[in-house]
């Protein structure tokens, strides 16, 4: 999910970072034996760590206890192990790890990474789900035991040669801590209430909740399961992020409230509307008065709370609902307008600053960005972020560059824009600082050179004032292109 950064998970133990823990129940693997050991077990749970990593040290006692529980429950079918990445660099390099500790599981041909809270219970439920999905369930008792252990389960009733086997295999890593079973025996399926092969079904404990007759893709199955397995209208917190967001849902309606009373007054309408929009839209709430949600609320640029926001995760755009009566009908009008384009997304922009055009470097925002082009043939603009150290170091040079251009190339302007506060749809900025030259307002020439004054002088000369020889070569190329077009 791209919208909100996942907040660091809490660890259960208070072990200090410089204490060592002897892991009596964890198998130590290395470059020489890791592949061989993985091949011997239905599921292998691996913790990738570094001895100097404080988070790893704090996690290790819980991981040791978890491995004991796994051995007691699953025996030799599940291997619980760890790899020291400082001594088995080749193994860890092949895993493309983003940091330590990282927990992964290997189930048949699937490799799954654990992304939930690093607590023993969460890891165990995740591992249990992977174990049950590692092979077809052959008897009713095993199936019932697995279903009872989880609040929500997904069951695939498949023929042995079903084309949906591929779909089921792809879902192995994607049901999180919920149980996922595959069944081929018609007798077992019948005992569970399933009669039609090649279908997926959702269970609440051991009770059949819904058969997904038309869901035949990974996205369709997981989208429906996501809505059933999680609260209808969850309240946002670092712990509920995985309940709210899924890659299979693009649209979200958010109610940002500031008191329990304002939430309760709308809860019924929110739940009714949320139910009517399954599985295409997710409705959730955010408590603006909770300090932990401060950055999330700031992200939406709300001037008044309570408020409704629509977020399109595919377009990375959000929309503010105008002040009006909060009814289900108005929710639907707002959501449809955001999707079909009749309602425009919110655009971050600062007011035009006083004296923006008075210096050698023009201070640009969204609403005055086009103004300098009315007086100049082109320009060169620095897009920066106030918190960016590289930008801060570069700005004095940029001011000197602005004075140089104003004196020697008055037909060209130099500008700067705080890109964190101003969204320009026509400009793509991947990082800071970014420098782009504009030969007219439509032609963009990104700059990837050095940040010295001489580097910038060379760039503006080569961009706007090519030599006579370069002009001659360009003209010859244009003539040749024209001749080919005539042919």
Tens digit of each residue's pLDDT (9 = 90 or more) over 95-125: 989 889 999 999 987 899 998 888 899 899 9
Q: Is the predicted pLDDT of residue 19 greater than 70, yes or no? A: no
Mean pLDDT, the chain, rounded, equals: 88
Q: 151 is written with which tokens?
A: 């609040």
| Residue closest to 150 by CA, chosen among 183, 114, 117, 126 | 126
Question: What does pTM read for this prediction?
Answer: 0.63
Q: Determine the pLDDT at residue 247.
A: 74
Q: Is the predicted pLDDT of residue 1 greater than 60, yes or no? A: no
Q: Determine the pLDDT at residue 484.
A: 43
Domain boundaries, the chain: 27-124, 136-228, 232-340, 361-464
Report the range of poorest mean pLDDT among 126-130, 452-456, 475-479.
475-479
H runs (alpha helix) in 75-139: 89-95, 120-132
Architecture (CATH level 2) of domain 27-124: 3-Layer(aba) Sandwich (3.40)
Q: Is the predicted pLDDT of residue 246 greater than 60, yes or no? A: yes
Report the range of poorest mean pLDDT among 187-196, 286-295, 390-399, 463-472.
463-472
Q: Determine the pLDDT at residue 198.
A: 93
| Residue closest to 177 by CA, chosen among 215, 149, 137 | 149
% of the chain surpassing 70 pLDDT: 91
* Host H or E run for residue 381: strand 378-384
Distances (CA, A) of 414 to 362, 404, 471: 6, 10, 24
Can you identify the CATH homologous superfamily of domain 136-228? Glutaredoxin (3.40.30.10)
Q: Determine the pLDDT at residue 315.
A: 85
Q: Determine the pLDDT at residue 280.
A: 92
Q: 135 is written with which tokens?
A: 């092979």
Q: Which residue has the higher pLDDT, 476 or 330?
A: 330
Q: Determine the pLDDT at residue 403.
A: 96
% of the chain surpassing 90 pLDDT: 68
Confidence of residue 175 (pLDDT cuts 50, 70, 90): confident
Q: Determine the pLDDT at residue 480.
A: 61
Averaged pLDDT, 347-368:
93
- Between CA 157 and CA 188 the distance in angstroms is 9
Q: Determine the pLDDT at residue 191.
A: 95
The dotted CATH code for 232-340 is 3.40.30.10
Of the CATH numbers 2.60.120.380, 3.40.30.10, 3.40.50.280, 3.40.50.2300, which one belongs to the domain with range 361-464? Answer: 3.40.30.10
Averaged pLDDT, 46-51:
96
Q: Determine the pLDDT at residue 475.
A: 63
Q: Which residue has the higher pLDDT, 448 or 473?
A: 448
For 302-347, what is each residue's pLDDT tens digit? Answer: 889 999 999 999 888 899 999 889 999 999 999 999 999 999 999 8
Averaged pLDDT, 367-385:
95
Confidence of residue 6 (pLDDT cuts 50, 70, 90): very low
Q: Determine the pLDDT at residue 123.
A: 94
Determine the longest span between alpha carbons in the chain, in angstroms: 87
Instruction: Kindly state the DSSP code that residue 439 receives in the 8-state scheme.
Output: E
Report the range of poorest mean pLDDT among 19-23, 56-60, 348-352, 378-382.
19-23
Q: Is the predicted pLDDT of residue 487 greater than 80, yes or no? A: no
Burial class (CB in 10 A: 0-12, 13-18, 19+), 137: buried
- Whether 27-124 shares its CATH topology with 361-464 is answered yes
For 68-102, what is each residue's pLDDT tens digit? Answer: 999 999 999 999 999 999 999 999 999 989 889 99
Distances (CA, A) of 390 to 146, 362, 383, 386, 422: 54, 20, 12, 10, 19
Confidence of residue 370 (pLDDT cuts 50, 70, 90): very high
């Amino acid at each position: 999910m791209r919208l909100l950064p996942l907040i660091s998970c809490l660890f259960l133990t208070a072990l200090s970072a410089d204490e060592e823990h002897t892991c009596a129940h964890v198998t130590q693997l290395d470059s020489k034996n890791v592949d061989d050991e993985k091949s011997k077990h239905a599921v292998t749970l691996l913790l990738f760590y570094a001895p100097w990593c404080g988070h790893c040290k704090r996690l290790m006692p819980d991981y040791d206890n978890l491995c004991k529980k796994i051995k007691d429950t699953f025996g030799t079918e599940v291997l619980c192990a760890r790899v020291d990445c400082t001594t088995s660099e080749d193994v860890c390099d092949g895993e493309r790890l983003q940091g330590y500790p990282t927990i992964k599981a290997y189930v048949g041909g699937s490799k799954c990474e654990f992304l939930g809270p690093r607590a023993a219970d969460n890891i165990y439920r995740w591992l249990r789900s992977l174990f049950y999905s590692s092979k077809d369930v052959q008897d009713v008792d095993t199936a019932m035991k697995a279903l009872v252990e989880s609040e929500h389960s997904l069951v695939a009733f498949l023929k042995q040669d079903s084309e949906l086997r591929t779909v089921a295999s792809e879902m192995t890593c994607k049901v999180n801590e919920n149980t996922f079973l595959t069944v081929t025996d018609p007798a077992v399926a019948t005992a569970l209430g399933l009669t039609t092969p090649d279908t997926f079904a959702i269970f609440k404990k051991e009770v059949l909740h819904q058969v997904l007759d038309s869901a035949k893709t990974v996205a369709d199955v997981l989208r429906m399961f996501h809505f059933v397995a999680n609260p209808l209208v969850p309240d946002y917190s670092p712990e509920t992020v995985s309940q709210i967001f899924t890659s299979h849902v693009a649209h979200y309606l958010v109610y940002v409230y500031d008191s329990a009373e304002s939430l309760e007054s709308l809860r019924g309408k929110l739940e009714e509307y949320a139910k009517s929009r399954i599985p295409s839209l997710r409705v959730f709430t955010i408590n603006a008065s909770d300090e932990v949600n401060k950055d999330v609320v700031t992200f939406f640029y709300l001037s008044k709370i309570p408020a409704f926001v629509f977020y399109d995760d595919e377009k990375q755009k959000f929309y503010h609902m105008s002040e009006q009566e909060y009814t289900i009908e108005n929710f639907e009008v707002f959501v449809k307008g955001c999707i079909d384009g009749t309602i425009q997304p919110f655009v971050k922009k600062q007011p035009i600053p006083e004296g923006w055009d008075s210096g050698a470097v023009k201070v640009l925002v969204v609403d005055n960005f086009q103004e300098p082009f009315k007086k100049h043939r082109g320009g060169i603009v620095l897009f920066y972020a106030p918190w960016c150290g590289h930008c801060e170091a570069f700005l004095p040079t940029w001011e000197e560059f602005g004075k140089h251009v104003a004196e020697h190339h008055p037909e060209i302007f130099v500008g700067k824009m705080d890109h964190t506060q101003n969204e320009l749809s026509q400009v793509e900025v991947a990082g800071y600082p970014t420098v782009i030259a504009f030969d007219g307002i439509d032609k963009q020439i990104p700059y990837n050179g050095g940040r010295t004054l001489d580097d910038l002088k060379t760039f503006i000369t080569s961009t706007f004032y090519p030599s006579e020889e370069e002009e001659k070569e360009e003209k010859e190329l244009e003539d040749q292109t024209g001749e080919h077009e005539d042919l």
